[in-house]
Amino acid sequence: MFFIASGTFNVVVNGKQVATMSEGHFFGEIALTSEGCKRTADVVAKTYGVLMKLSRSSFQSVCHRFKDFDELIKQSSNEGRARDHYRRSGSLGSKSASSSNDR
């Protein structure tokens, strides 16, 4: 899982930019909360940036210690899967949208 400390990043699904993320956003939570989940999007740097990585083992430790964090990430992951389903089906069109994990 990655947290954006600085910079701007595009979220690309099926070759189309579907969102832009910047400082305070995070991504990669779906891979940590779903066993065997395939990648749902690519995140591509639009500008220079700094990412902070949270490893799987650290993620599990944090979730065990802070149940609110665990629930927040699971909720975000579920919303992300639903959002990605609509993006893949073309229901959202090619218009860029902000990510729901705004912080």
Q: Is the pTM of this model over 0.75?
A: no
| Confidence band for 99, pLDDT divided at 50, 70 and 90 | very low
* Chain segment 60-94, per-residue pLDDT in tens: 898 888 878 777 777 776 665 555 544 445 544 33
Q: Give alpha helix (H) positions in the chain.
A: 29-33, 56-65, 67-89
Determine the pLDDT at residue 78: 60
User: Under CATH, to which class is 2-91 assigned?
Assistant: mainly beta
